[in-house]
């Protein structure tokens, strides 16, 4: 067995397959919020995003729930160029002060031009690399086939239609453990999923990213409840922003929405800022939620599922107003950010 799996299993606590919190909201930006500026590739990306998603596509979030592998090395290939470009910009700016202070110093124009070219290159090709070139490094749950798949090599595993190592959902366990004792955050917790028979299926293991520095293990337990609820074929999908564009691809959910008189574009008409406010409120509820009590006495402690979020959280039009900042200011801000850090 790998050292990372053994380390994660030390003092780990299994997470029960419960459905008691019942409120799962993940904010999503449905449109680019900034100006296009020098990001010419965005025209292509917007066209790709507007295409209808096939039911068997991994982008169908009514069928697949995916989590990027924790501590994924490929993330460095995305953030590395941004950090390098920002470093070049910082050095170029500091060189101005060097020229003013030292009489014999010449300004490094080559560094400046190289930094700008670097940032604009990755501004346009970084999204292409991340979306189409880098390998997918995630574990995902298939609601239709009731399976769990890993996009990397796993011992003694069958392959699904996408060529990924796949196991029945019933053979997967979830657990959490204390992650570190850093001075800045104290004790934090990490969540993991693995095959119950990991000894014969080495590689079927991954950390699941829950949120930054989760000091309370409730966030781990909440994340697994979200997975369990997603995989429950006896119920329609939860009403969450990221699922809304795909709800019609799940027959049970589509029929439920018709009976429930659900607005077709409730979340897509809501401002991202309001979604964040809702998520912040739910985060506070997760922190205080009695997961143990809800398992032993669900009638007392379990939440009621929100089936009509448009009634609980009406769209706040005051948060949905267009940006009144002058166009030239927004464009200048966009261009400076793109040239300086390539994002």
Q: pLDDT of 192-234, one tens digit each?
A: 999 999 999 999 999 988 876 678 899 999 999 999 999 999 9
Say how far apart CA 168 and CA 66 lie, in whole Å.
16
pLDDT in tens, 83-97: 888 999 999 888 888
Cβ-Cβ contacts under 8 Å for 304 (sequence gap 6 or more): 22
Q: Which residue has the tokens 């780990």?
A: 12
DSSP states of 248-264 = GGSHHHHHHHHHTT--T
pLDDT exceeds cutoff 50 at 1: no
Q: Where are the domains of the chain?
A: 3-72+137-330, 73-136
Q: CB of 122 within 8 A of CB of 85?
A: yes
pLDDT digits (tens, 9 = 90+) for 34-89: 888 899 988 888 888 888 888 889 999 999 999 988 766 666 667 788 888 899 99
Q: Which residues of 156-181 are buried (b: 16+ CB within 10 A; e: fewer)?
A: ebeebeeebbbbebeebbbbbbebee
Helix ranges (H only) for 211-322 are 218-230, 251-259, 272-288, 291-296, 298-301, 309-312
Q: How open is the CA angle 253-277-183, to the nearest 5 degrees? A: 115
């Amino acid at each position: 067995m790998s050292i990372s799996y053994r380390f994660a299993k030390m003092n780990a606590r299994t997470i029960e397959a419960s459905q008691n919190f019942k409120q799962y909201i993940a904010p999503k930006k449905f449109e680019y919020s900034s100006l296009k500026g020098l990001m010419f590739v965005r025209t292509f990306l917007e066209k790709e995003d507007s295409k209808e998603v096939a039911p068997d596509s991994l982008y169908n979030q009514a069928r697949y729930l995916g989590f990027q592998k924790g501590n994924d090395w490929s993330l460095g290939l995305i953030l590395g160029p941004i950090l390098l470009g920002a470093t070049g910009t910082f050095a170029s700016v500091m060189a101005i002060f060097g020229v003013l202070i030292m009489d014999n110093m010449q300004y490094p124009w080559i560094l400046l031009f190289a930094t700008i070219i670097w940032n604009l290159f990755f501004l346009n090709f970084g999204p292409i690399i991340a979306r189409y070139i880098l390998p997918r490094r995630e574990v995902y749950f298939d609601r239709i086939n009731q399976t769990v798949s890993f996009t990397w090599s796993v011992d003694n595993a069958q392959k699904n239609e996408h060529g990924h190592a796949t196991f029945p959902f019933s053979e997967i366990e979830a657990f959490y453990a204390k992650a570190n004792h850093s001075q800045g955050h104290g004790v934090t917790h990490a969540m993991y999923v693995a095959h119950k028979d990991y000894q014969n299926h080495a590689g079927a293991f991954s950390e699941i990213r829950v949120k930054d520095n989760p000091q309370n293990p409730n966030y781990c337990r909440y994340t697994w409840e979200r997975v369990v609820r997603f995989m429950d074929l006896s119920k329609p999908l939860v009403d969450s922003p990221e699922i809304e564009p795909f709800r019609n691809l799940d027959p049970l959910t589509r029929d439920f929405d018709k009976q429930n008189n659900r607005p077709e574009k409730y979340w897509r008409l809501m401002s991202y800022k309001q979604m964040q406010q809702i998520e912040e409120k739910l985060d506070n509820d997760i922190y205080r939620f009695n997961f143990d009590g809800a398992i032993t006495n669900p009638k007392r402690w379990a939440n009621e599922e929100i089936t009509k979020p448009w009634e609980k959280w009406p769209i706040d039009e005051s948060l949905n107003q267009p940006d009144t900042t002058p166009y030239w200011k927004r464009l200048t801000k966009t261009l400076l950010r793109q040239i300086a850090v390539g994002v």
